[in-house]
Amino acid sequence: MSFKNKVVLVTGGSSGIGAATAELFSKNGADVVIVGRNESKLRIVADRCSTLGCTPLTITADVSKEQDLTIIIEKTIEKYQQLDVLVNNAGIACITDLVDGDFLSKFDEVMSTNFRSAVVLTKLAIPHLIKTKGNIINMSSVMSTRFKKSQLAYGTSKAALDYFTKASATELAQFGVRVNCINPGYTRTDIMTTIGMPISTWDVLAPTTALGKVSEPEEIADMILYLASNKARSITGTSIIIDNGSSIVFR
């Protein structure tokens, strides 16, 4: 699939799924914009993209801050004068229980990063995506439909993103703009270690899936690329689960 002369904006692009996505689009000829909070990690990803044929625009920003979201779109349009694909991938997880004293502050942080950032960026990107008849891919999770102890904020943010995907897809269809989301299951990224889980957690989780493995970021990136392409021109408002069959064995 060729994305030559297409501009792709990826948030949460400094590691994991976002980094894999930026690299895959670079390999397929796109002009890529990578957004993340860690400037040094962004540079590493940008260097890898450069070896694949793209010199990406990197933007150091915190998507939980609305002023940063405005800057992201402004810099993208200033550089490329267009936007074809928005990948709302930025996300965080943390241990949250309703009875905790700091629950509300943690809840607000997760919702601002995982959900509100996608809403604001979508709103800001709409005029540009209408011009290109572009599309949006939101990064949700299988946690949007499951309960897991101490993940109230994370699960809520992803459930909200699922609904937002369907609602925005309905509204934007008249303009030829498609909106979809991907709901990964266990995927080998840093998100687990950031909440204190050991790296060996992946080895423990793998046997709990039907296929006996966890996903790699590159597998999720493959689906993002497909959804962004013209091959998926009839797909909108859809949530696609990639979880190695954990949903069918989930108890």
- Give the integer Cα–Cα distance in Å for 188 and 195: 14
Q: What is the mean pLDDT of residues 111-130?
A: 99
pLDDT reading at 193 higher than 80: no
Confidence band, pLDDT 50/70/90 cuts, at residue 190: confident
- Summarised one tens digit per residue, pLDDT across range 14-34 is 999 999 999 999 999 999 999
Strands laid side by side in the 85-88 sheet: 57-60, 31-36, 7-10, 85-88, 135-139, 178-184, 239-242
Q: Tell me which of 51-60, 79-88, 117-126, 204-213 is least confident.
A: 204-213
- Residues 6 or more apart whose Cβ sits within 8 Å of residue 250: 146
Question: How far is the CA of 63 from the CAs of 35, 56, 160, 187, 215, in angstroms?
Answer: 9, 19, 17, 22, 25
Q: Pairing between strand 31-36 and 178-184?
A: unpaired
Lowest pLDDT segment from 48-62, 123-137, 181-195: 181-195
What pLDDT, on the 0 to 100 scale, is given for residue 203? 85
Q: Is 144 helix (H, G, I), strand (E, B) or coil?
A: helix
pLDDT exceeds cutoff 90 at 142: yes
3 state DSSP class of 210: coil
What does the DSSP 8-state code read for residue 214? Answer: P
**Contact in structure between 195 and 151 (CB atoms under 8 Å):** no
Higher local confidence (pLDDT), 100 or 133: 133
- Name the average pLDDT for the chain: 95
Who contacts 78 (Cβ-Cβ below 8 Å, separation ≥6)? none
Summarize the confidence of residues 169-177 as an average pLDDT. 99
Under the banding of pLDDT at 50, 70 and 90, the label for residue 198 is confident
Question: pLDDT grade, residue 249 (50/70/90)?
Answer: confident
In eight-state DSSP terms, residue 150 is T
Q: How do residues 48-83 score in pLDDT, each as one tens digit?
A: 999 999 999 999 999 999 999 999 999 999 999 999
User: Is the pLDDT confidence value at 96 over 90?
Assistant: no
Q: What is the pLDDT of residue 251?
A: 53
112, 104 contact by CB (below 8 A): no
pTM: 0.95
- pLDDT over 90 for what percent of the chain? 86
**Would you say the C-alpha torsion 241, 159, 37, 130 has a positive or negative sign?**
positive
pLDDT at position 250: 63
Per-residue confidence (pLDDT) for residue 202, from 0 to 100: 81
The token pair at 42 is: 């962004």
